[in-house]
Structure 1
Amino acid sequence: MASQNDHQITKNKNFCQSLGHAWDGIIDLFKEERNFRFHTCAAMTVVVIGLILHVSLEDWSWLLVAIFAVLVMEGVNTVVENMVDLEVGHHYNLRAKHIKDIAAGCVLVTSFFAAIIGCIVFIPVLLRLV
Structure 2
Amino acid sequence: MELKDKKWSIGFSYAWEGIVQVVKLERNFQIHLITALLVIIAGFILGLSRMEWIFIVIAIGIVLIAEMINSTIERIMDYIKPDIHPAAKQIKDMAAGGVLIAAVAAFIIGLFIFIPNIIALF
Q: Which moved more, 1:97-106 or 1:13-22?
A: 13-22
Structure 2 gaps, min length 5: 1-5
Q: State the TM-score, normalizing by the size of structure 2.
A: 0.94
1:56 to 24, 29, 49: 49
Return the offset for 1:21: 0.7
Matched, 1:117 2:109: yes
Tell me the residue number matched to 2:31: 38
Name the CA distance, whole Å, in 1 between partners of 2:103 and 2:121.
26
Give the share of equivalent positions with the same residue, in percent. 38
Tell me the residue number matched to 2:22: 29
Tell me the residue number matched to 1:126: 118
Aligned-partner residue type, residue 64 of structure 2? L
* Greater share of helix: 2
Name the CA distance, whole Å, in 2 between partners of 1:81 and 1:25.
15
Structure 1 gaps, min length 5: 1-12
Tell me the residue number matched to 1:7: none
Higher-Rg member (1/2): 1
Aligned-partner residue type, residue 70 of structure 1? V
Aligned to 1:14, the other structure's residue is in SS state: helix
Moved over 2 A (4+): none
Q: State the TM-score, normalizing by the size of structure 1.
A: 0.88
Return the offset for 1:30: 0.3
